[in-house]
C-alpha cells in the first residue's frame, strides 16, 4: 500500500471510504474493530436472552414464557455468548494487537481475514432467524445431544449450518494468526520474547484447528441421522447416543480453553503494566499454557461422568482433570508474584484484571471439586455447574475482555476513556456478577437441576437474589457502551505510551496508530521489553 514516497506520510493513509472501507477491508485494524463491535452486539443479544431467563426464574411458577421457548433461550444464549461474543472478541483483539505487538505491517492473509469476519454475520442470521420458524429455535441445549436435538423443528438444518459456518470462520482466523506469528515477526522478536498475549493466541489457534473439525464432524453426523437415514447416534438402528457426547466434548473441552487462554494472555499483559514490574516466570507461563492446551484433549469425559463410563475410564478422566489444576495454579501464582513488591496503581484495566484473578480462581476451585468423580455425581447438571462455568467465563473471560478494552481503548481511539465512569462500571460489574452467580452454588448443592423453567418453592429465595443481581449486572453493561462511544468521539488525548508501565512494540506507535503501521520492520531488543 504505502509506497516509499509515502513512507513519511503515515498519517495521510489511503483507505476506501464509506461502506466499502468495512465491506472490503483487508486492514487488520478495521477488521479487528468490526470483530469487536460485532462481539459487543452479540454480547447484548445473548445478554437479553439471559435477562429473559432470569426474569422467568425470578419466582416459582411460569410467568413470561413457555417451557419450550425457555429451553430455546437457554440454548441460543449459550451459542451466542460462546460463538458470537467471547470467541469473536478474542479474534478481534488478536487482529488489532498481534501485528502491532510483533512489528508486522498487517496479518499474513488479509483477504482471508476479511472473509472469516464476514461469514459470521451470516452464520448468526441463520441461527437467530430460527426464532421465526415453525417449531421455534433450537431448544435441546447448546450441547446438541441426540436424540433430543433431533426433535428440533424446521430450525434443525439452520442450527447445523450455522455451526459449520462459525467453525469455518474460526479455523480461517486461526490459520491467519499462526501464519502471521510464525512468519511476520520483526527482527529480534524471538519466540521467547513474544508478548504473552501473542503466545496464548498462538496456542489457542492450534486448539481451534485441532478441535473445530471434530465439532463439524459431529454435527454433520446429526444431519445425516436426521435426513439421510443413518444411525450414528440412534440406538434402535445400532448406533450410540453417547458416541455423540464423546465427539462433542472432544471438541468441547479444548473449546473451553479457546475461550479462556486469550484471557490469560490479556491478564499477563495488564498486571505487569500496572505493577511496573516484569511478568514473573515468563517461561513457566508459556509452558503452563501449552500444558493446559495439551491436557485439554485428555479430559473431555469429565463432562460425562454420569453417562455410565467404566470405572477405569472415570478414574483416568478424574486424574487428568485434577492434573490441570497444577499448570493453572502456576499461572495464578505467577500473577500474584508479579504484583509482589511491584508499585501498583489501580486504573480500570488493573481492577478488572485483579477481579479476574480472584473470581477466575474461585471458578477454578469449583472446577477442581467438579473433577472429583464420585462427588460430581451430585454436582453434575445442577446450578453448581452453572455457577462454575459462569465464574470462569463471565467473571473470567468476559472480565478479561473488559480489562483489555479499557487497556487498549486509548491506543485504538487516541483518547483516554472516562476513568471515573469506568471505575463505576467495574464496581457495578464485580459486585453484581457475584450477586448473580454466587447464590447459584447454593442452589445447585440444594438440588436444583439446570435448564429448568420453573422450580420447587424451596429454591425461591436464592433465585430471586440471583435474578436481581442479573438485572443489575445486565443494566450496568450499558454504561460500558456509553463509555466506549464517549471515548471514540473524544476525550483527553492519549500519548503513544498511554500507561506509564506499559512495555512492548504497540506502545512505540502513536495513539491511534497509523492505518498502516510497521511498514518497515522495527528492531526489537531486550531493552524494549525491560523495566
Partner 1 sequence: MHLNKRMSKFLSNFILVLSALFLLSPDILHAAWGLNMTQGVTPISQDVYNMHMTSLYVVTVIGLLVFGMMFWSIFHHRKSKGVKPAKFSHSTTVEVIWTLVPLLIIISLAVPATKLLARMDNTSESSITIKVTGYQWKWKYDYINEDLTIYSNLATDSVEASQRNSGINPSSADNYLRNTDTALVLPVGKKIRIMTTANDVIHAWWVPDLGWKRDAIPGFINDNWTIINKEGVYRGQCAEICGKGHGYMPIVVKAVPEKEYLAWVEDTKAALKSKKDSGDKELTMDELKSKGEAVYKANCLACHQANGQGIKGVFPGLDGSPLATLKDRIPEHIHQVIYGKNNMPAFGEQLSDTDIAAVVTYERNNWGNKTGDIVQSKDVSAGRKK
Instruction: Scan residues 66-95 and list those touching partner 1 (CB under 8 A).
Output: 66-68, 71, 74
Give the span between the Cα atoms of 141 and 143, in whole angstroms.
5
For 314, the grid coordinates are 472415570
Among 16, 61, 121, 129, binds partner 1 (CB under 8 A): 61
CA distances from 422 to 409, 425, 506 (A): 12, 5, 23
Considering only 336, 478, 482, 492, the residue that binds partner 1 (CB under 8 A) is 336
DSSP at 493: B
Q: Are 409 and 487 in contact (CB under 8 A)?
A: yes
Nearer to partner 1, 148 or 186 (CB): 148
For the chain, how long is the longest CA-to-CA vector? 74
Catalytic residue among 142, 379, 407, 408: 142
CA distance 218 to 143: 11
Instruction: Using the rule CB under 8 A, give the single segment among 9-17, 64-72, 197-205, 467-475 that binds partner 1.
Output: 64-72
Q: Establish whether 9 is a catalytic residue.
A: no
339 binds partner 1 (CB under 8 A): yes
300 is catalytic: no
User: How many binding residues for partner 1 (CB under 8 A)?
Assistant: 105
Does 507 qualify as catalytic in the annotation? no
Candidate residues 93, 101, 267, 318; the one interacting with partner 1 per rule CB under 8 A: 318
**Of 183, 210, 407, 190, nearest in space to 283 by CA:** 190
Shortest CA distance to 262 belongs to which of 28, 39, 30, 94? 94
Q: Partners of 449 in the beta sheet?
A: 382
- 57 or 126: CB nearest partner 1: 57
Residue 157 lies near partner 1 (rule: CB under 8 A): no
Q: Is 148 in the site for partner 1 (CB under 8 A)?
A: yes
Site string for partner 1, 261-290 (x = CB under 8 A): --------------xxxxxxxxxx------
Which run of H or E residues covers position 502?
none
210 closest CA partner among 123, 337, 147, 297: 297
> How far apart (Å, rounded) are the C-alpha atoms in residues 531 and 523?
18
Contact status, residue 395 vs residue 360, Cβ threshold 8 Å: yes
Among 241, 474, 496, 514, binds partner 1 (CB under 8 A): 241
Residue 504 in 3-state DSSP?
Answer: coil
**Residue number, 241 or 512, with CB nearest to partner 1:** 241
525 binds partner 1 (CB under 8 A): no
Alpha-carbon gap, residue 313 to 302, rounded angstroms: 10
Does 345 contact partner 1 by CB under 8 A?
yes
Q: Catalytic residue at 296?
A: no
Give me the least distance between CB of 518 and partner 1, in Å please: 27
DSSP H or E stretch at residue 215: helix 196-227
62 vs 191, beta carbon nearer partner 1: 62
Q: Quick one: which segment of 20-28, 132-140, 191-199, 201-209 binds partner 1 (CB under 8 A)?
A: 132-140
Q: Is 381 in the site for partner 1 (CB under 8 A)?
A: yes
Q: Does 227 bind partner 1 (CB under 8 A)?
A: no
Question: According to the binding rule CB under 8 A, does residue 122 interact with partner 1?
Answer: no
57 binds partner 1 (CB under 8 A): no
Closest CB to partner 1 among 100 and 286? 286
Compute the Cα dihedral for 25, 28, 33, 38 and give only its sign.
positive
Catalytic, 303? Answer: yes
Q: Which is nearer to partner 1, 137 or 160 (CB)?
A: 137
Cβ count within 10 A of residue 424:
15
Of residues 285 through 314, those in contact with partner 1 by CB under 8 A are 306-308, 311, 314
Cα–Cα distance measured from residue 524 to residue 8, given in angstroms and rounded to the nearest whole number? 21
Site string for partner 1, 440-459 (x = CB under 8 A): -xxx-xxx-xxxxxxxxx--
Closer residue to partner 1 in complex, CB, 135/217: 135
> Are 250 and 217 in contact, with CB atoms under 8 Å apart?
no
Taking CB under 8 A as the rule, does residue 23 contact partner 1?
A: no
Residue that is written with C-alpha cell 528492531 in the block: 523
Beta-bridge mates of residue 382: 449
- Residue 91, burial from CB neighbour count under 10 angstroms (0-12, 13-18, 19+): buried
Q: Is 118 a catalytic residue?
A: no
Told to judge if 306 belongs to the known catalytic residues of this protein, a careful annotator would answer no
Binding flag, residue 417, partner 1 (CB under 8 A) = no
For 421, which DSSP code? Answer: H
Q: Does 153 bind partner 1 (CB under 8 A)?
A: yes
From 44-52, 65-73, 191-199, 475-483, give the range in contact with partner 1 by CB under 8 A.
Answer: 65-73
Q: Report the nearest approach of partner 1 to the CB of residue 361 (Å).
A: 7
User: Binding string, 474-513, against partner 1, x = CB under 8 A?
Assistant: ----------------------------------------
138 binds partner 1 (CB under 8 A): no
Choose between 40 and 339: whose C-beta lies nearer to partner 1.
339
Least Cα distance to 35 among 116, 106, 108 occurs for 116
- For the question of residue 331 being annotated catalytic, the response is yes
Candidates 3-11, 59-67, 98-106, 185-193; binding stretch for partner 1 (CB under 8 A): 59-67
Query: What is the C-alpha to C-alpha distance for residues 394 and 401, in angstroms, rounded to an integer?
Result: 10
- 140 contributes a contact to partner 1 by CB under 8 A: yes
Omega before residue 147 within 30° of 0, cis: yes
Residue 417 backbone class (left: φ over 0; alpha: ψ -120 to 50; beta: rest): beta
Catalytically annotated residue among 30, 56, 106, 418: 106
> CB burial class (10 A; 0-12, 13-18, 19+) of residue 195?
buried
Rg (CA), the chain: 23
Active site residues: 77, 106, 142, 169-170, 253, 255, 257, 268, 302-303, 328, 331, 450
Amino acid at each position: 500500500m504505502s509506497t516509499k514516497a509515502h513512507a513519511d506520510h503515515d498519517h495521510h493513509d489511503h483507505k476506501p471510504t464509506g461502506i466499502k472501507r468495512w465491506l472490503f477491508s483487508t486492514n487488520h485494524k478495521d477488521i479487528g474493530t468490526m470483530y469487536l463491535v460485532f462481539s459487543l452486539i452479540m454480547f447484548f443479544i445473548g445478554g437479553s436472552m439471559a435477562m429473559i431467563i432470569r426474569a422467568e426464574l425470578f419466582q416459582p411458577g411460569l410467568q413470561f414464557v413457555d417451557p419450550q421457548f425457555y429451553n430455546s433461550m437457554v440454548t441460543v444464549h449459550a451459542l451466542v455468548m460462546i460463538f458470537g461474543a467471547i470467541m469473536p472478541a478474542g479474534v478481534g483483539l488478536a487482529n488489532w494487537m498481534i501485528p502491532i505487538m510483533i512489528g508486522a505491517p498487517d496479518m499474513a492473509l488479509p483477504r482471508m481475514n476479511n472473509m472469516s469476519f464476514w461469514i459470521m454475520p451470516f452464520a448468526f442470521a441463520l441461527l437467530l432467524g430460527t426464532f421465526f420458524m415453525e417449531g421455534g429455535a433450537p431448544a435441546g441445549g447448546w450441547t446438541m445431544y441426540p436424540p433430543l436435538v433431533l426433535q428440533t423443528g424446521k430450525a434443525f438444518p439452520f442450527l447445523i449450518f450455522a455451526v459449520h459456518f462459525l467453525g469455518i470462520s474460526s479455523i480461517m482466523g486461526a490459520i491467519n494468526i499462526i501464519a502471521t506469528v510464525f512468519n511476520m515477526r520483526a527482527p529480534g522478536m524471538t519466540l521467547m520474547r513474544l508478548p504473552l498475549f501473542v503466545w496464548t493466541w498462538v496456542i489457542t489457534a492450534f486448539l481451534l484447528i485441532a478441535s473445530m473439525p471434530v465439532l463439524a464432524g459431529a454435527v454433520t453426523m446429526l444431519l445425516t441421522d436426521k435426513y439421510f437415514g443413518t444411525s450414528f447416534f440412534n440406538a434402535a438402528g445400532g448406533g450410540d447416543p453417547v458416541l455423540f457426547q464423546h465427539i462433542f466434548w472432544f471438541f468441547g473441552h479444548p473449546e473451553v480453553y479457546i475461550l479462556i487462554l486469550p484471557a490469560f494472555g490479556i491478564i499477563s499483559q495488564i498486571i505487569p503494566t500496572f505493577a511496573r514490574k516484569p511478568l514473573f516466570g515468563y517461561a513457566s507461563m508459556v509452558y503452563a499454557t501449552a500444558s493446559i492446551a495439551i491436557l485439554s484433549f485428555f479430559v473431555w469425559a469429565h463432562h460425562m461422568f454420569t453417562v455410565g463410563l467404566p470405572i477405569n475410564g472415570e478414574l483416568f478422566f478424574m486424574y487428568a482433570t485434577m492434573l490441570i489444576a497444577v499448570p493453572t495454579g502456576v499461572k495464578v501464582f505467577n500473577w500474584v508474584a508479579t504484583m509482589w513488591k511491584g508499585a501498583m496503581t489501580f486504573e480500570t484495566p488493573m481492577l478488572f484484571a485483579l477481579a479476574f484473578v480472584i473470581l477466575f480462581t474461585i471458578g477454578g476451585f469449583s472446577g477442581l471439586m467438579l473433577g472429583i468423580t464420585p462427588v460430581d455425581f451430585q454436582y453434575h447438571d445442577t446450578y453448581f455447574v452453572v455457577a462454575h462455568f459462569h465464574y470462569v467465563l463471565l467473571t473470567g473471560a468476559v472480565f478479561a475482555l473488559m480489562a483489555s478494552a479499557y487497556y487498549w481503548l486509548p491506543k485504538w481511539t487516541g483518547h483516554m476513556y472516562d476513568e471515573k465512569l469506568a471505575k463505576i462500571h467495574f464496581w457495578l460489574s464485580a459486585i453484581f456478577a457475584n450477586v448473580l452467580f454466587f447464590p447459584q452454588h447454593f442452589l445447585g448443592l440444594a438440588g436444583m437441576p439446570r435448564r429448568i423453567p420453573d422450580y420447587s418453592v424451596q429454591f425461591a429465595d436464592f433465585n430471586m437474589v440471583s435474578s436481581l443481581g442479573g438485572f443489575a449486572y445486565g443494566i450496568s453493561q450499558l454504561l460500558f457502551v456509553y463509555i466506549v462511544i464517549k471515548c471514540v468521539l473524544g476525550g483527553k488525548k492519549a500519548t503513544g505510551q498511554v500507561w506509564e508501565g506499559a512495555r512492548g512494540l504497540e506502545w512505540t506507535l502513536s495513539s491511534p496508530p497509523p492505518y498502516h503501521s510497521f511498514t518497515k520492520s522495527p528492531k526489537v531488543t531486550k531493552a524494549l521489553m525491560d523495566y
